[in-house]
Amino acid sequence: MEKHKIKVDNLNLYYGDNRALHDIKLNIRENSIAALIGPSGCGKSTFLRTLNRMNDLIDNVKITGNVVVDGQSIYAPETDVVSLRKRVGMVFQRPNPFPMSIYDNIAYGPRIHGIKKKAVLDEIVERSLEQSALWDEVKDRLNKSALGLSGGQQQRLCIARLLAVEPDVLLMDEPTSALDPISTLKVEELTQTLKDRYTIIIVTHNMQQAARISDYTSFFLNGFLVESDKTDKIFTTPNDQRTEDYITGRFG
């Protein structure tokens, strides 16, 4: 039986008096790739950030409703937000490697969480780079600056940096929008290998990408979740005319 990793119930988000998300209800299955699509400003990135409480960092944000990860409410008062963001990590639109060596980028998170032994860090660095399909490309220059990598390599490094702290969920906010087609393909292939171990939620403006890599697709419009279903259903026989209009390029 398929297990729901994340359950979102009646989620609303306000920036001051402006309501950006309206009564979002969505279940996300474990070990799947869920794509969030919709025109710019529709609320999909805002929604993504509610899943690890990144919106807490923005002034004047109010959230009602609930997000449950592995049976626990992440908005409960006792929630440890640092621990939550370790379990539910995020990859951003533009690669953001730290200005330090490739090795130190990957070892950064484990060191913060108390791992000091070099042998253990070496193992984590190699495993994380292997998982992000980057090891063979960088194993001979681990002590060189991460800023010397190409854009696509930097984005896979950021994914490796996330994997080093052993999350359960990967949130990806348009992770290939700044990349060339070859680098985009590598990241897409990477998501397919990672979903065996992780639950992945990806915001994308690229309809072809959503159709290629996701198992489920959710269509957002003006802060509302219009519909969510298996990707092939959304792209072939959506229930809502607005979904079809967006996917076929009539607006957005």
In this prediction, residue 24 carries a pLDDT of 98
Tell the burial category of 174 from Cβ atoms under 10 Å away from its Cβ (0-12, 13-18, 19+): buried
In CATH, the architecture of 4-247 is 3-Layer(aba) Sandwich (3.40)
Rounded to the nearest integer, the mean pLDDT of the chain is: 96
Q: pTM here? A: 0.95
pLDDT over 70 at 2, yes or no: no
Token readout for 168 is: 């359960």
Interior CA angle at 82 toward 86 and 170, to 5°?
Answer: 30
Which tens digit of pLDDT belongs to each residue from 6-23?
999 999 999 999 999 999
At 73-116, the pLDDT tens digits run 999 999 999 999 999 999 999 999 999 999 999 999 999 999 99
The ranges assigned to domains in the chain are: 4-247
- Weakest-pLDDT range from 1-10, 21-30, 144-153, 170-179: 1-10
